[in-house]
Amino acid sequence: MKSLGIISLFILSAVFCLPVSGQTQQRIESFPLSQVRLTDSPFRHAQQADICYLLGLDADRLAAPYLKGGGLTPKAENYPNWENTGLDGHIGGHYLSALAYMYASTGDARIKERLDYMLAELKRAQDASGDGYLCGTPGGEAIWKEIQAGNIRAQAFSLNDHWVPLYNIHKTYAGLRDAYLMAGSETAKEMLVKLTDWMISITDKLTDAQMQDMLRSEHGGLNEVFADVADITGDKRYLQLAHRFSHQLVLQPLLNGEDKLTGMHANTQIPKVIGFKRIADLEDNRTWSNAADYFWHNVVDHRTISIGGNSVDEHFHPTDNFERMLRSEQGVETCNTYNMLRLTAMLYATSGNAAYMDYYERALYNHILASQNPVQGGLVYFTPMRSGHYRVYSQPQTSFWCCVGSGMENHARYGEMIYGHQQGELYVNLFIPSTLDWKQRHVIIEQRNDFPNEAGTTLVVAEGEEQTFAIHFRLPAWSGQWSVTINDKPITPPVQKGYIVLNRTWKAGDTIKLSLPMTLKAVGLPDGSPNYSFTYGPIVLAANMGKENQDGLFADDSRGGHIAHGPRLPLTEAPTLVGAADSLLAYLQPVADKPLTYTLTHLYPTRYKQLTLEPFYRLYECRYSLYFPLVTPEELNRHEQELARSEAQRMALDAVTTDKVTCGEQQPESDHFMESEHSMIGTDDETGEHWRAARGWFSYRMKTDNRANTLYIRCQSSPRNDARVLVNGRVIGTLTAESTTVELPLPAESRQGEIVVRIEKESANMTPRCYEVRLIKR
């Protein structure tokens, strides 16, 4: 969402008054972003870097897919990367949202001018379409005609043979909504309603079964945005549309408190749940709200690592096995945390439970803030937990991933959850330096601190008439023995529902100082395995492991440029703690005159005499270690041998690989232009690995790099399945009932450039389940 941030999430229903069943629970409302301004801190630095990134983009290139979709000639060509390979236009929607939030957060006239120009260009495209349609998906008109006629061909990451057009158009809906709610654009509101009416015309003759079939394809949070349109207009037709776009396959297990998430593409599901919660709030539907809460607790309590992120290779991994998380270079995805924060804000608004804000703070500092390069403003897709690996940063003219879109929004929204209010009382949730212009009370509040270097914060009533109200300070779960002074006089206020409550008559100049001592903790993974990260208060600490061999540190325009493909530090050489779990904190010693900096000892291999740990959000353009495995001295030899054996096999295969597809996973398959007929994907029950199989065929476009001479396929043996393997239309071998790994020589004419690898059923009803396809040099 934009949490429907400020206005839409917390104020929208009160302002626009959709006539649904009563809102029985008093919300904690966030302040409009226009009333909150960041002051000097890492967050303000990130905000300013994001302004530069936004203004560095060419609006004409972002608008080009929309103009083409409206039958107009664009003023410039599409940007490259995902913007001209099938997901054309998705960044344009994110761009509207980011500009709207940034304008609300800063009042920067340059941002408003850019937003107005972008809206004007998109309006030209919508007007040209004549029916309210607005989207950049290539061939969009033909897709929607097929769908309107009931011809629906849906797979997880495609719809009618195109790359997730519903997901794509959701970004346009969300951008228009935010331009209206955050920046007050009546033009955007008009365009939003027209586009929603168009969707009704496309889907109104589809049966519920056809709708649910279509929703198998990734579709973002369309149910949420249609509920928003209902709230904006007061028209229940749009709420009905929101219900029709609610995916029952995901909703029903959540309603029953069942965990069916393992193996699912993570960021496909989170926006759906945001929509469930949005509908629930409009209808006062406790069961749907409880389903969203169940999802949140499942993900946060059982699937989330210390920095607040979740998933590996974009998918939910088993709750009892985080091994892939620690091995993969495709760790937690920024989009997931972006959406989890939006869901968190919604759940907090209707519950007032401070525990939601504990998670929000942790994810904001350690994942979202860390996902931006503080020098060139680049944005991160994957944050690997593999020890000694690194992140890749986007560049404004080459990189247009989903996490670039949500990333541009992230750093425009830091002000939205710092403060809240309920029945005339103030809530201080985050300790981010800022000013609050509380217009309803004609009071200006300033929050000053050097948090987290300083273990506490100061709140000053800077301006305003003398008046009585309560100020609630969140008491974080990480805090030690706290204390409060008002005008330098110690007081002992009550604690209510996780908040320190100060209720008195306030006047200009009153100063509150809140001390929140922090402590070190060793935090294990949710699966209970002996792997630990270290935190100080809400801040996760990590080790800088150097800058060597960060291949592709700044992404090019290739489809896989967001992945850190450089050499991986062998896990046998990764820093490992040797000792006992109850002694870990004794291995840390503070570094003098360096806040939040510690030395870590008791490490193996012996070349790591000690490592220096510091806040993860301060590290950039470097390799790092964040989780450290723990072994006893007795276990060390066996641990080394097991790691060495598995790593040697993996590293040897990686060393001769020129290209690789992990079957059944969205991004690797999208990056290799997967096509198929009657194919399906799934997850192995034992290993959690993804696979693809087909009753027809599936294919990938792969690159030999002029080195590969062999096609390598790893699959599941099955007495009932077999397949032909084709390269550029020529059969080069088969997958038999006994196959688990197959190596097939490439024809000489197929050893240069790009080839198409196709796997199709032979005599059996289905191909084997295929886990990965590689091109290798033998």
Task: Say how far apart CA 725 and CA 761 lie, in whole Å.
Answer: 9
Q: CA 87, 343, 527, 479: dihedral to nearest 10 degrees?
A: 130
| Structure confidence by residue, pLDDT tens digits, 560-599 | 899 999 988 888 889 999 999 999 999 999 999 999 999 9
Q: Which of 232, 231, 184, 181 is nearest to 5 (CA)?
A: 181
- Determine if residue 693 is left, alpha or beta; phi over 0 gives left, psi from -120 to 50 gives alpha, anything else beta: beta
DSSP-based three-state secondary structure for 421: strand
Task: Say how far apart CA 572 and CA 645 lie, in whole Å.
Answer: 9
- Give whole-number Cα distances, 653 to 32, 326, 774, 776, in Å: 54, 19, 9, 8
| Structure confidence by residue, pLDDT tens digits, 448-466 | 999 999 999 999 999 999 9
Contact 343, 275 (CB under 8 A): no
Contact 429, 359 (CB under 8 A): no
Contact 65, 89 (CB under 8 A): yes
Task: Say how far apart CA 203 and CA 226 lie, in whole Å.
Answer: 13
Please tell me the number of Cα atoms within 13 Å of 549 on its side-chain side.
8
Q: What are phi and psi of 500, to 5 degrees?
A: -80, 125
Cis ω on the peptide bond leading into residue 452 (within 30° of 0)? yes
Contact 431, 457 (CB under 8 A): yes
- Give whole-number Cα distances, 659 to 180, 363, 371, 706, 723, in Å: 44, 33, 27, 11, 22
DSSP-based three-state secondary structure for 435: strand
Tokens 């990686």 belong to residue:
654
* DSSP letters for 486-524: ETTEEE---EETTEEEEEEEE-TT-EEEEE----EEEEE
The pLDDT of residue 127 is 98
| Structure confidence by residue, pLDDT tens digits, 651-695 | 889 999 999 999 998 888 988 999 999 898 887 755 667 899 998
Helices 186-203 & 140-148, crossing angle to 10 degrees? Answer: 50
Contact 383, 370 (CB under 8 A): yes
The tokens for 470 are: 């309560």
The pLDDT of residue 6 is 30
Averages of pLDDT over each 10 residues, the chain, 778 residues: 32 35 67 98 98 98 98 98 97 98 98 98 98 96 96 94 97 98 98 98 98 98 98 98 98 98 96 98 98 98 98 95 94 98 98 97 98 98 97 98 98 98 97 98 98 97 97 97 98 97 98 97 97 98 97 95 92 91 96 96 89 98 97 82 77 91 89 90 72 93 92 86 92 86 92 93 88 94
Contact 543, 596 (CB under 8 A): no
Task: Say how far apart CA 431 and CA 419 lie, in whole Å.
Answer: 9
Task: Say how far apart CA 312 and CA 321 lie, in whole Å.
Answer: 11
Which distant-in-sequence residues (6+ apart) come within 8 Å of 737 by Cβ?
A: 717, 718, 719, 720, 721, 722
CA 224 vs. chain centroid, Å, equals 17
Task: Say how far apart CA 262 and CA 253 lie, in whole Å.
Answer: 13
Task: Say how far apart CA 226 and CA 143 lie, in whole Å.
Answer: 21
Contact 316, 273 (CB under 8 A): no
**Model-level pTM?**
0.86
Tokens 């200009």 belong to residue:
508
The pLDDT of residue 764 is 79
Residues facing 89 on adjacent strands? none
Task: Say how far apart CA 323 and CA 424 lie, in whole Å.
Answer: 48
Counting DSSP H helices and E strands in the chain, the numbers are 20, 37
SS3 content of the chain, % helix, strand, coil (to 5): 35, 25, 40
Task: Say how far apart CA 409 and CA 665 lie, in whole Å.
Answer: 26
Task: Say how far apart CA 209 and CA 202 lie, in whole Å.
Answer: 15
Tokens 């809206």 belong to residue:
119
What is the 8-class DSSP label of residue 569? P
Given CA atoms 553, 556, 557, 560 in this order, what sign does their dihedral have? negative
Q: Which of 28, 729, 3, 718 is nearest to 353 (CA)?
A: 28
Task: Say how far apart CA 199 and CA 205 lie, in whole Å.
Answer: 11
Query: Strand (E) positions, 355-510?
Result: 382-383, 419-422, 425-428, 434-438, 443-448, 456-463, 467-474, 483-486, 489-491, 495-496, 499-506
Task: Say how far apart CA 458 and CA 446 lie, in whole Å.
Answer: 8
Task: Say how far apart CA 749 and CA 227 lie, in whole Å.
Answer: 55
What is the 8-class DSSP label of residue 365? I
The pLDDT of residue 686 is 59
Contact 712, 743 (CB under 8 A): yes
Helices (H), 39-164: 42-55, 59-69, 90-106, 109-129, 140-148
Task: Say how far apart CA 398 and CA 729 lie, in whole Å.
Answer: 33
What is the 8-class DSSP label of residue 707? T
The widest CA-to-CA distance across the chain, in whole angstroms, is 85
DSSP-based three-state secondary structure for 65: helix
What is the 8-class DSSP label of residue 643? H
Tokens 């597809």 belong to residue:
661
Helices 165-181 & 186-203, crossing angle to 10 degrees? Answer: 150
The tokens for 704 are: 């030999």
Burial of 729 (0-12, 13-18, 19+ CB in 10 A): exposed
Burial of 662 (0-12, 13-18, 19+ CB in 10 A): buried
Contact 435, 462 (CB under 8 A): yes
Contact 534, 523 (CB under 8 A): yes
Contact 136, 69 (CB under 8 A): yes
Q: What are phi and psi of 77, to 5 degrees?
A: -85, 155
